[in-house]
Amino acid sequence: MRLSTLTLAMTLAAGVAYANPVAPGDVSYTEYGAIEASLSGAPGDAVNGASVASSRAMGNCVACHKVSSLDAAFQGEVGPSLDGVADRWSESELRGIVANAKKTYEGTIMPSFYKISGFVRPGDAFTGKAAQGELDPLLSAQQIEDVVAFLMTLKAQ
Amino acid sequence: MLRRTTTILAAGLVAVATGAWSDADDNELVVNDEIEITTQAAAPAHVEGLSEIYSGWRFREVDTQAAQMDDFDNPAFLAVDAAQIKWDTVEGEAGKSCASCHDDVMESMKGVRAVYPKWNETAGEVRTLAMQINACRTENLKAEAYGYTSNDMTAMEALISVPSRGMPMDVAIDGPVQSTWEQGKEMYYTRYGQLELSCSNCHEDNYGNYIRADHLSQGQTNGFPVYRLKNTKLNQVQDRFKGCIRDTRAETFNPGSPEFVALELYVASRGNGLGVEAPSVRN
């Protein structure tokens, strides 16, 4: 907890240097859908990533995935359990999966969390109304980094 | 006496349900100890993505299931009783009631719910049951149309559905409705919204799975209008479509729109063979 606060403070202090995230349209994916470099330019915070993954209002990853280390209620089973996922994928690969899983798994049901165009009838969040102006990605560059940092903690032992 | 039967029945259901996995359970639906309702059938040939079709009832908790097994326990029947009064009451400038032309709803409307949406030759359009109710209100009663998803509408739909309970859904998909059906099919497989999810992603590829706290069914329409414990009222089928599309972070369609009429026809046809359950109970 102390650690994460510190990281946050450092991020804030660094200000300008880190305030340059790669825009969703400018992300470069490898042939297999990985993203090599941090999207925000800053390291991720695993503690914050855990809450992004649990929260309905943010990643809501547990809607589809079980993660034993999270105490979020009602974890879904549409996707595979994420336990041990860091043994299966590298950090770059996980970043690519979270940002746009369709580059790793063609046609997957998993939403693309760092994408802002190419949608059919995009809405204004959950209002059912048409989106106004440019969409925000489902997660910010830093939230993606935080989730990836959290996923990197999910090792078999 | 009736209540007691339901409790015993419910107790019987628990045993079966806990033995089952998260897929559809093995419970059987008999309403009022009398009306046997088919909740599982071979998928119609025009549904390539499924081999078996299941009613949403098979995915619900035992208590919710039990509430539909006896009309005294089914909260939708308050609305049915209210609609029966409307059916018999003169309204509008023509000085008529529904009963003036259709007499006893339990006789004249037998089988009607099972074949809607269907083609109306005179009007030259595909009509949902709601559209037909409003057509009779405006043209034959000379009364105001009901709001498409209003309580009056869902109550009237529920009443008209009662005499069809247990009859197999049998919606036509060819002839004059074919192009509308194709349009609905295309919508069913379109990945809408910022979450890019189609009806099929959830209701064809993942029925039986939990998505967060929700146990996904096949999204069948044989139970509509549905009494939901969540909002304690009857829900119109197109209101449900609207909610499902909204939840994909999409701009939804309006109930009564040509798009939703097409979608309703297509989704209804995916349930051909399931028994009409309306008015059903869900969470």
SS (HEC) of B108-150: HCCCCHHHCCEEECCCCEEECHHHHHHHHHHHHHCCCCCCCCC
Looking up residue A49, the CATH number of its domain turns out to be 1.10.760.10
Q: Among A28-32, A62-66, B11-15, B200-204, which stretch is predicted with the lowest mean pLDDT?
A: B11-15
Instruction: End-to-end CA distance of chain B: give it in Å, rounded.
Output: 26
pLDDT greater than 80 at residue A17: no
Query: pLDDT per residue over A71-89, tens digit each?
Result: 888 999 999 999 999 999 9
Q: Which pLDDT belongs to residue A54?
A: 96
- How confident is the prediction for chain A on average, in pLDDT? 90
Q: What is the mean pLDDT of residues A27-52?
A: 97
Q: Which of residues 93-122 of A touch B (CB under 8 A)?
A: 109, 111-112, 119-122
CA B109 to chain centre: 16
d(CA B103, CA A12): 75
Q: What is the mean pLDDT of each run of 10 residues along chain B (283 residues)?
A: 40 39 85 97 97 98 97 98 98 98 98 98 98 98 98 98 98 98 98 98 97 96 98 98 98 98 98 98 97
Q: Which pLDDT belongs to residue A6?
A: 46
In a domain, A96, yes or no: yes
Which residues make beta-bridge pairs with B234? B227
In a domain, A88, yes or no: yes
In a domain, A156, yes or no: no
Q: Which residues of B touch A130 (CB under 8 A)?
A: 251
pLDDT greater than 90 at residue A1: no
CA nearest to B187 within chain A: A120
Catalytic (active site) residue B202: no
pLDDT greater than 50 at residue A15: no
Q: Which pLDDT belongs to residue A19?
A: 53
Q: Which residues contact A133 (CB under 8 A, 6 or more apart)?
A: none
Q: What is the dihedral of CA A113, A118, A120, A122, to 10 degrees?
A: 50
Are B251 and A131 an interchain contact pair (Cβ–Cβ within 8 Å)? yes
Q: How many CB atoms lie within 10 A of CB B79?
A: 22
Whether ipTM tops 0.85, in short, is yes
Are B247 and A126 an interchain contact pair (Cβ–Cβ within 8 Å)? yes
Which of B190, B191, B194, B240 to mutate to probe the A interface, most A CBs <10 Å? B194
Q: Which residues of B touch A62 (CB under 8 A)?
A: 212
Structural domains counted in chain A: 1
pLDDT greater than 60 at residue A12: no
Quick one: which H or E segment has residue B66?
helix B62-67
Model-wide pTM > 0.80: yes
CA nearest to B192 within chain A: A120
In a domain, A82, yes or no: yes
Which of A126, A134, A138 to mutate to probe the B interface, most B CBs <10 Å? A126
Range of the domain at A37: 2-151
In a domain, A157, yes or no: no
Query: pLDDT per residue over A109-134, tens digit each?
Result: 999 999 999 999 999 999 999 999 99
pLDDT band at A20; cut points 50, 70, 90? confident
For residues A29-44, one letter each, b for 16 or more C-beta atoms within 10 angstroms of the residue's C-beta and e for the rest, the string is: beeebbbeebbbbbbb
Q: What is the mean pLDDT of residues A126-149?
A: 97
CA nearest to B252 within chain A: A128
Are A111 and B195 an interchain contact pair (Cβ–Cβ within 8 Å)? yes
Q: Which residues of B touch A122 (CB under 8 A)?
A: 193-194, 249-251
Q: Which pLDDT belongs to residue A72?
A: 87
